[in-house]
Structure 1
Amino acid sequence: MAGGESSEEAHTAIVEAIRKRALLQFNYKGHIRIVAPYCFGVSTRGEDVLRAVQVRGSSASNGMGFGKLWTVTDIAEPRVLDEGFTPDDPHYNPDDSAMTHIYCRVERSRRQASA
């Protein structure tokens, strides 16, 4: 699904999940993903993207446990889960260099910033 209502629905769910520090579930290219969302903004290509760590679900690459960029127009059926997460990815950078503009992000705690 691309553009229109599905993108607006994804935007709303992403922002809510980041603000609540809640896991986010969505269908991405035929796979159900459950991710910890960290940063939402505009990529250097001008596309809305989500930086998130996949924690469960399926993946064509089996890549889990590290931050990946997800193109928002490819996110379908987004749902904020009633399950929170602790933003403890040691590689997370709130000033994500893959984004030219950031809409919403998890702020690093002082403990993370000093680590």
Structure 2
Amino acid sequence: MNLHIIHAIRNKQRMQFVYNGKLRHIEPQCYGLGTKNTELLRAYQLSGGTQPEPLFDVSKIEDLKLLNEFFTKPGPNYKKGDSAMKTIFCEL
């Protein structure tokens, strides 16, 4: 379990990291375990990819940084209880 991700969700703090070789700038929405027991992060993506609210495999995240930037509301398609996760550690 990544405590930095939990902290960022609870504080509505933006994050950045490298994923598949691209720098991503995101607002974390939901963090938990998927059906294959992989840690997953649902995020609203501000830059770095084409999907607005992708699901990231946490094991593939590199150079994770919490930014001194904050957000006030979830992404436009956010739903509590993300169906891609069988166990949720933290969510907005």
TM-score, normalization: structure 1?
A: 0.74
CA contact (8 A) 1:25 1:79 kept: yes
* Equivalent position of 1:39 in the other structure: 30
Considering fraction of residues, name the structure with more strand: 2
User: Structure 2 matches for 1:10-29, cutoff 5 A?
Assistant: 11-29=2-20
Q: CA deviation at 1:102?
A: 0.3
Match of 1:90 among 68, 76, 86: 76
Say whether the 8 Å CA contact 1:16–1:80 is kept in structure 2: no
Identify unmatched segments of 5+ residues in structure 1.
1-7, 107-115
TM-score, length-normalised on structure 2? Answer: 0.91
Runs of 5+ consecutive residues of structure 2 not aligned to the other structure: none
Tell me by how many angstroms 1:90 deviates: 3.1
Length, aligned pairs only: 92
1:59-98 counterparts in 2 under 5 A? 59=49, 62-63=50-51, 66-98=52-84
Q: Which stretch has the larger CA shift, 69-78 or 90-99?
A: 90-99
Bigger Cα Rg: 1
The residue type paired with residue 52 of structure 1 is: A
What is the Cα-based RMSD across aligned positions, in Å?
Answer: 1.3
**What residue in structure 1 maps to residue 90 of structure 2?**
104
Higher helix share: 1
Counterpart amino acid of residue 92 in structure 1: Y
- Could you tell me how far 1:94 is from its partner in structure 2? 1.2
Note the C-alpha offset of 1:46: 1.3
**1:42·1:100 contact (CA, 8 Å) conserved in 2?**
yes
